[in-house]
Amino acid sequence: MKTQVPDSLKNRFLIAMPHLMDPNFSQSVTFICEHNDQGAMGIVINRPTQLTLGEIFRQVGIVPDSNNRYQSDLIYAGGPVELERGFVLHTPGQHQWDSSIAVSPSIQLTTSKDILQAMAKNHGPDNALVALGYAGWEAGQLEREIKDNAWLTCDAEPSILFQTPMEKRLEAAAALIGVDLHLLSTEVGHA
């Protein structure tokens, strides 16, 4: 049986197979923000750093409100590309940010500083995940990796992205397709 890759993996989770040993992606869940004939772009959603959003506010010269609700949120390592660039995955709200794309009706990606300024004043989105860097694949690369059994894919679930504790996101994403990663072999191959 051949692995079928959907035409677009946008708004899907990539779940690392147990044998994937690349340190950037081992035991990771990646939310795919864009996928087309030119390649794919996503954000790893289960790799927190030691950096907090409060520290990011200070580094970019934003003064947060004293009762800021986002200040202690951890920043995620979104992937190995452009590590100095920030990305905010979030639920839509009443505000429109300067540089946002709708990944789905319930998830947006913003890269402009205005969302951080709003978050510093407690006017940001209800749910947000801030990452530095992203994961990128050139044309056809991700499709090949899926056919080589490096990844499982499933439709993204916003509750896993925003409400599930970070350490449970991998198992929760796999459970969406009825997979227990602990029961999978680390051997690679096709049946």
Percent of the chain with pLDDT over 90: 85
pLDDT in tens, 146-159: 999 999 999 999 99
Residue 134 belongs to some domain of the structure: yes
CA 7 to chain centre: 20
The predicted structure's pLDDT at residue 1: 39
Give the whole-angstrom CA distance, residue 9 versus residue 110.
Answer: 19
| Position 3 pLDDT exceeds 60 | no
Is 50 exceeded by the pLDDT of residue 13?
Answer: yes
How many domains, the chain?
Answer: 1
Asked if residue 7 belongs to a domain, the reply is no
Residue 3 resides in a domain: no
**What is the average per-residue pLDDT within 155-178?**
96
User: CATH code at 150?
Assistant: 3.40.1740.10
Write the pLDDT tens digit of every residue in 82-105.
Answer: 999 999 999 997 778 889 999 999
95 closest CA partner among 75, 66, 117, 70: 117
**Is 190 among the domain residues?**
no
Instruction: Give strand pairing partners of 100.
Output: 110
Distance CA 34, CA 3 (A): 21
* Token representation of residue 21: 């040993």
Gap between the Cα atoms of 166 and 173, Å rounded: 11
Using DSSP's 3-state secondary structure scheme, residue 164 falls into: coil
pLDDT digits (tens, 9 = 90+) for 34-68: 999 999 999 999 999 999 999 999 999 999 999 99
Give Cα separations from 86 to 71, 113, 116, 142 (angstroms). 16, 9, 10, 23
Q: Is residue 191 part of a domain?
A: no
pLDDT of residue 175: 95
Residue at 159 is within a domain: yes
**pLDDT for the residue 96:** 81
Q: Look up the pTM and report it.
A: 0.91
pLDDT at position 6: 60
pLDDT band at 184 (very low <50, low <70, confident <90, very high): confident
pLDDT of 97: 85
Residues 6+ apart with CB under 8 A from 112: 97, 98, 99, 100
Q: Residue 44 is part of which domain span? A: 12-183
- Measure the CA–CA gap between 57 and 52, rounded to whole angstroms: 9
Residue 185 has a pLDDT of 56
Cα-atom radius of gyration of the chain, to the nearest Å? 17
Instruction: Give the position of tokens 């049946």.
Output: 191
In a domain, 90, yes or no: yes
CB 42 within 8 A of CB 31: yes
Examine the pLDDT at 191 and tell me if it is beyond 60: no
Would you say residue 35 lies in a domain? yes
